[in-house]
Chains A and B, each alone.
Chain A
Amino acid sequence: MNAQLRLAVAAAATVLLAGCAATPSKVDPLEPMNRALYQVHDVLDTNIVKPVAEGYVSVVPQFIRTGFANVFNNIDDLFSAVNGLLQGKTEKAGNDLGRVLTNTMLGLGGLIDVATDLGIERGNEDFGQTFAVWGFPAGPYLFIPLFGPTTVRDGTGVLVRIALGPVSYISNVPVRNSIYGVGYIDLRSQALEGGSIVDTAALDRYVFIRNAYLQRRRYLIYDGKPPPEPEEEQ
């Protein structure tokens, strides 16, 4: 959730319009362009975003970072409840609503994640998943600099989510941008560990990230029980 996100999605639209490239694979027809964008991202991330996120982790105490993350998560839980309802998953939506009420009232407005301690699971629903359940195709995979991996369907979901606020309704521009900025760096800081694992594990980081992203989204769409993919073994 950040200011650059709008730019990023605008860039995504441009990429789509320009997407008459060769067709290397079904999931990633825009691979040559995506790879180029990944290179751009890698330079920006390695030299600017990652050092800032590392600085944030070393300067800001853990409990404050956790508090920030919890507030953002609390808002996301509300949207998760909405998306649960849009997909007809009333039980999940109820859980998410329960989480928001619990954390907002007992957790100092969302600063403390009381609900997780009470064992109320996060629904992790979002607009991208709702569109999937409604039957929209994922569309081409995209890699957006400073935003990361997505698909046309998921990217559209993120756009809808940002437009609905609440941060987008803050009229004071410096305040709004500061919140986007902190939210962005906080999100990036949470991915630092994962990033170092990718650096060790991947043979080709671009492909590794793409596969992990697509697997993760599939898992979320099927609520953690994806049907087995056709196996190629033996």
Chain B
Amino acid sequence: MTMMKAVRCARTLGAALAIAATALASPVHAQEAPDAMVKRVSQDMIATIKSDPLIQAGNEARIREVIEVKLIPHFDFMRMTALAMGKNWRSATPEQQKRLSDEFKTLLVRTYSGALAKYRDEAIDYKPLRMNPADTDVTVRTVVMKSGGQPIPMDYSLTKGADGWKVFDVVISGVSLVTNYRDEFNEQIKSGGVDGLIKTLSDRNKGVAAK
């Protein structure tokens, strides 16, 4: 083998390795650490909110669209709904479970977009994450700093799935979104069964006011 050939060969090999590495890393976020994911997604959301003229004008439809594209893929709504349902989850058919998690998702998106529409200039402080490599459930702690207001702790519970870490609860100032719904869901199921709960959720999502 001549010198030239060896160099060319090494180059080809190098290029192939580079391509292979890129290919391996291409589901870039699958191997991403949970705290890095929370940071990346929230910073991306903030950048979008700040730069999008429609959102700045308070266009909630646009905000919802951005949430659908940027946030929703990072949430595990089945697990979230199962947690909020508690023991009632098992008594629901797979079809009911699907409808419940869809309606719950819509409700949370509406709530979250309402909150984001009021977003001004809050900064987020990300607390260091302590976790073992084997952990499959972790909590990422952040603090939202409002200028002229008190800092608000916001914690994300994440679970490790086949396609990366997914959020299954958000705890704001100690109030868990999922836990907060447990009694409400229970109450609805007691009076109208699982279908009653589905109907209440879908009515709320159609804009019917809560009692």
Chain A: minimal CB distance from B122 (Å): 12
Cα-based distance from A216 to B209 in the complex (angstroms): 25
- Say what secondary structure dominates the interface of chain B: helix
Q: Does B138 contact A (CB under 8 A)?
A: no
Give the residues in chain B near A211, CB-CB below 8 Å. 175, 179-180, 182-184
Judged by DSSP, the binding face of A is helix
Contact B174 A203 (CB under 8 A): no
- Chain A residues 62-117 with CB under 8 Å of chain B are 62-63, 66, 73, 116
Residue in chain B with minimal CB distance to A210:
B183
CB contacts (< 8 Å) of B62 on chain A: these are: none
A234 partner, pick from B90, B108, B150, beta carbons under 8 A = B90
Q: How far is the CA of A216 from the CA of B114 in the complex (A)?
A: 22
Most chain B beta carbons < 10 A, residue from A190, A226, A232: A232
A176 close to chain B: CB less than 8 A = no
Indicate if the CB atoms of B180 and A215 lie closer than 8 Å. Answer: yes
Q: How far is the CB of B127 from chain A (nearest CB, A)?
A: 11
Indicate whether A136 reaches chain B with its CB closer than 8 angstroms.
no
| B184 and A200 contacting across the interface, CB-CB below 8 Å | no
Cross-chain contact of A233 among B82, B150, B176 (Cβ < 8 A): B82
Residues from 145 to 160 in B contacting A, C-beta threshold 8 Å: 148-151, 153
Neighbouring B residues of A121 by C-beta, 8 Å: 151
Contact A216 B150 (CB under 8 A): no
B4 at the interface (CB under 8 A from A): no
Q: Which of A185-206 contact B (CB under 8 A)?
A: 190, 193, 196-197, 199-206
Is the beta-carbon distance between B179 and A202 smaller than 8 angstroms?
no
A207 touches B (CB below 8 Å) = yes
Interchain CA distance A145-B200 in the complex, whole Å: 27
For B188, the chain A residues whose CB sits under 8 A away are 203
Provide the bound-state CA to CA distance between A220 and B87, in Å. Answer: 28
Q: Given the complex of chains A and B, what is the CA–CA distance between A95 and B180 in angstroms?
A: 31
Contact mask B101-129 → A, CB, 8 Å, 1/0? 00000011011001100100000000000
A212 with B180: in contact, given A207-B187, A219-B175 (CB under 8 Å)?
A: yes
Roughly how many angstroms separate A204 CA and B181 CA in the complex, as a whole number? 10
A220→B174 contact, CB < 8 A: yes
Name the residue in A62, A122, A211 with the highest tally of chain B Cβ atoms < 10 Å from its Cβ: A211
- CA distance in complex: A63, B184 (Å): 39
A224 CB-CB contact with B under 8 Å? yes
Distance, CA A168 to CA B182, complexed state (A): 41
Instruction: Give Cα A219–Cα B118 distance, bound, in whole angstroms.
Output: 26
Contact residues in B for A205 (Cβ distance below 8 Å): 210-211
Contact with A along B9-21 (1 / 0, CB 8 A): 0000000000000
A63 to chain B, nearest CB (A): 7
Contact assessment for A203 and B200 in the assembled complex, using a CB-CB cutoff below 8 Å = yes
Contacts A216-B174, A219-B173 given; does A207 touch B184 at CB 8 Å: yes
User: Bound state CA distance, A36 and B101, in angstroms?
Assistant: 32
Q: Give min CB distance, B136 to chain A, whole Å.
A: 15
Residue of B nearest to A73 (CB): B150
Quick check: is A218 within 8 A (CB to CB) of the other chain?
yes
Chain A residue contacts of B27, Cβ below 8 A? none
Tell whether, in the assembled complex, residue B174 and residue A232 are in contact, meaning their CB atoms are under 8 Å apart.
Answer: no
Report chain A residues within 8 Å CB of B45. none
Can you show 14 pairs from A to B with CB atoms below 8 A apart? A66-B148, A190-B149, A199-B210, A202-B184, A203-B204, A205-B210, A205-B211, A208-B210, A211-B175, A211-B184, A215-B179, A224-B153, A233-B86, A233-B89
Of all A-B residue pairs in the complex, the 9 with the closest CB atoms, nearest first, are A219-B174, A232-B86, A66-B148, A201-B111, A203-B184, A211-B180, A215-B175, A200-B111, A202-B210
* Chain B interfacial positions (CB closer than 8 Å to A): 82-83, 86-87, 89-90, 107-108, 110-111, 114-115, 118, 148-151, 153, 173-176, 179-185, 187-188, 200-201, 204, 209-211
